[in-house]
Structure 1
Amino acid sequence: MNFNPEKKTTTIILQVASFVIVSLILWNTNSFFKKFKEEERNKVEIWASALVELESLPEGADPGNLPLKIFQKNTSTPMILVNRDGVVKVSNMPKEAASDTVLVQRKIKQFEGENTPIKINHKGEELATLYYGNSEVLNKLKYYPIALLLIIFLFGAVIYFFFKTNKSSEQNKLWAGMAKETAHQIGTPLTSLLGWNELLKAENINPNITSEIEKDIARLETITERFSKIGSLPILEPLDIVVETKNAFDYLKLRSSKLILFSFDSKVASLPVLLNKSLYQWTIENLVKNGIDAMRGKGSISIEILKEGNNAIILVSDTGHGILKRNFNTIFNPGVTSKKRGWGLGLSLVKRIVEEYHKGKIKVLSSSKEGTIMKMSFKLNS
């Protein structure tokens, strides 16, 4: 369902722009890394050339300042020089490395993996091999793209959840608006029905008829109240959850098929809980009706109430066809239903009423082909 086409277009543009920017940053970072690596190799090659020049000077000759400056300036690149006699010299590495042959061999293999060794030749004769690794700056730069990708991933996740939450908020506003409009529309004929019922009483109609009409009018008033409260914060008051549960359960029992066996069992006489009476009874009715639908109009449905610590526990059981374990959580999502003509709003509203309005919890305790047990828990009002 697309509630705002313009916003969707803006989202796509932002995503494409983000992808282009990220691609450019990664490409530029990679280019910079390669260029920096080439410059480091040039520095090492110059160092090797300076070494050849020093080695080629006659004994006692003045080497000049340039080769010495080259040696002094290169202090960041770790190097291992192995001459043709197997003598090893290390530069820009810890002093203890020179005496640790195992460490030296391990570093040589590491440097070979990082950079191609430089052969030092003079007049066609190989004097030594220079192994060098990446400098500390280059090593840090090497992990920069990974860090950047992580940042981008987190940024993308934030954007995704922002738009997902925004869409969910829009849907919630839509459902709340529809519910309030439904309550408003029911209000007009309901007022008319009250008037007509009073006229029937004045005509001395059978009191049983007008009494049943009053019950149905009261039921419509309850439904109107429930729908009007969707999207707004309900008022909670201390009530006995045992009494409220039984009242809702008995109401459905009287109006359900005789093929359904109803059973109510409370392990405690009373349990005080902060409730909104109308919304709480709605949750019981939804759960019981879902159970009846799952049993296809024939079977047993029961409610058990007990106390666990500081919580009131309500267990609603049916002997229906059960729920697959992988669907235990998704059945509470809006639009999820197993009914051909269902809207998938019943359990979604139940979850909202229990968890958001009453700060309780609801879950599928167990389910199999023999039936399902739904569990609700509410903090006691001490």
Structure 2
Amino acid sequence: MNFIPKNKISNIFLLIGSFAVVSLILWNTNSFFKKFKEEERLKMEIWATAQSEFLQSSETVDLGSLHLKVFQNNTSTPMILINKDKSVRVNNFPLNKSKDSIYIQQQLRKFKGENIPISIDQKGEHLATLYYGNSDVLNKLKFYPIALLLIIFLFAAVIYFLFKTNKASEQNKLWAGMAKETAHQIGTPLSSLLGWNELLKTESINPSITKEIEKDIDRLQTITERFSKIGSLPKLIESDIVSETKDAYDYLKRRSSKLIHFSFNSKVDQLPVLLNSSLYNWTIENLVKNGIDAMRGKGSIAIEIVPDGKYVNILIADTGHGISKSNYNSIFTPGFTSKKRGWGLGLSLVKRIVEEYHDGKIKVLSSGKEGTIMQISLKVVH
């Protein structure tokens, strides 16, 4: 039985193949570097031989001689020639550095580390010592593998980013499809409940019972509407953020434990924003319920509305155990949850509703042992 998924096997082969290609390119580059260095060494030995001939025949030098042509053609490799009388001659140095003795000594130490010096002898007599460095081409070639690795790294980062984005898009489609299917499935028994409730009204039953059933049916319809809007662009209507928040607050207060102390405060009487009421109420409900869970069913929930220039901030505070600072952003990731039981979808849906559907922002304003404050920021209609 094969316990490794096929896509994982293909990813492993792709990784091994990529590593092999990179290794081959680096090995080839290193071989080319060594070959180029050997050729440069041969060129310098030819130059040293020409220099030996020149020193021996300097009194009868022919301007068209071979050794002079060798000197003239070598314009890329920096050299320091130290004659037997300790005189120093430099070739292919910057003009402003050719007379700088300190710079020449620094380059001499550098050349000794880069290449073995060449002794220029003639008939057993030592004439000079040639020290040479790497040419500009060779120096640039040394950094080629690093540049190649950087390009490969950037390419891999782009591939990873595209893969991650594509995966997130697929997840979003999956959750949206599940939400719509849930709404569809709820719709059938909901229609049946409406019919049964109308039938109960014709019987001699306490009207308060059917009224409470109607409230629950309305609640189920609201939930169905919320799920049906996930994955599609909801319609936004100019609404008063104060009254919408107060409605959600009142609903939650009536249906929560008496051990939870609720408080509501607004710095303004009304403030217009573009809202989808159903989804906004769902957002407030999710944040309040998360706060109640964090307090283990006992504590205080405070909702406050504070204008902030072009925006309005809705603050939801609880007195729960708090959130670790390292998890401030993670809590909005689908699947992340600190609960023993839970799907980790509530806050990811809240983020989507606030930021994608309402063009707002949501964040953890502060959190600690004394509790957590979540902040929603929405644009004000002017």
TM-score with structure 1 setting the length: 0.95
Deviations 1:8-48 (A, max 9, x none): 44444433332222221111111111111111111001100
Assess if the C-alpha contact under 8 Å between 2:83 and 2:129 holds in 1.
Answer: yes
Distance, in Å, in 1 between the alignment partners of 2:286 and 2:44 is: 77
Residue in structure 2 matched with residue 198 of structure 1 by the alignment: 198
Task: Look up the equivalent residue of 1:328 and give its one-letter code.
Answer: Y
Write the letter of the residue equivalent to 1:324.
S
Question: What amino acid does structure 2 have at the position aligned with 1:181?
Answer: E
Matched residue, 1:82: 82
The separation in 2 between residues aligned to 1:294 and 1:64, in whole angstroms, is 93
Aligned residues of 1:54 and 1:63 also touching (Cα < 8 A): no
Instruction: Give 1:162 shift.
Output: 1.4
Name the SS for the 1:95 alignment partner. coil
- Any stretches of 5+ residues in structure 2 without a counterpart? none
**Residue matched to 1:68:** 68
Comparing 67-76 and 277-286, the one that deviates more: 67-76
The one-letter amino acid of 2:262's match is F
Quote the offset at 1:62 in angstroms.
5.7
1:358 and 2:358 are equivalent in the alignment? yes
Distance in 1 between residues matched to 2:168 and 2:13, nearest whole Å: 21
Which secondary structure does the structure 1 equivalent of 2:60 belong to?
A: coil
Q: What code does the residue aligned with 1:242 have? A: V
2-side partners of 1:24 and 1:301: how far apart? Answer: 63
Aligned residues: 379
Q: Which residue of 1 aligns with 2:186?
A: 186
State how 1:256-271 maps to structure 2 within 5 Å. 256-271=256-271
Q: d(CA) in 1 for partners of 2:8 and 2:231?
A: 25
- Paired residue for 1:227? 227
Q: CA deviation at 1:366?
A: 0.9
Instruction: Tell whether the 8 Å contact from 2:54 to 2:61 is kept in structure 1 after alignment.
Output: no
> Share of identical aligned residues, percent?
72
Structure 2 CA distance for aligned equivalents of residues 17 and 250 of structure 1: 61
Amino acid paired to 2:342: G
Deviations 1:232-283 (A, max 9, x none): 1111111111111111111111111111111011110111111111111000
- Displacement of 1:152: 0.6
Question: Which amino acid counterpart does residue 160 of structure 2 have in structure 1?
Answer: Y
Partner in structure 2 of residue 273 of structure 1: 273
- Which residue is 1:316 aligned to? 316
- For residues 240 and 6 of structure 2, the distance between their equivalents in structure 1, rounded to whole angstroms, comes to 50
Q: Deviations for 1:214-248, whole angstroms, at most 9, x for unmatched residues?
A: 11111101111111111111111111111111111
Distance 2:62 2:293 in 1: 102
| SS of structure 2 residue aligned to 1:200 | helix
Structure 1 residues 80 and 213: CA distance shift in structure 2, 3 A = same
Give the counterpart letter for 2:33 in structure 1. Answer: F
Which one is further off, 95-104 or 33-42?
A: 95-104
**Structure 1: 5+ residue runs without aligned partners?**
none
- 3-state SS of paired residue (2:98): helix
Structure 2 counterpart of 1:201, one-letter code: K
Please tell me the residue identity of whatever aligns with 2:124: G
CA RMSD of aligned residues (A): 1.8
Partner of 1:172: 172
* Structure 2: distance between partners of 1:64 and 1:358: 84
CA distance 1:260–1:58, shift in 2 (3 Å): closer
Q: Report if the CA contact (8 A) 1:242-1:271 is conserved.
A: yes
Provide the C-alpha distance between the structure 1 equivalents of 2:121 and 2:242, rounded to a whole number of angstroms: 95
| Structure 2 counterpart of 1:381, one-letter code | V
Shift of 1:58: 8.0
Deviations 1:106-125 (A, max 9, x none): 22122222222212222333
Q: What is the distance in 2 between the residues matched to 1:241 and 1:163?
A: 39
The answer as to whether partners of 1:267 and 1:306 remain within 8 angstroms in 2 is yes
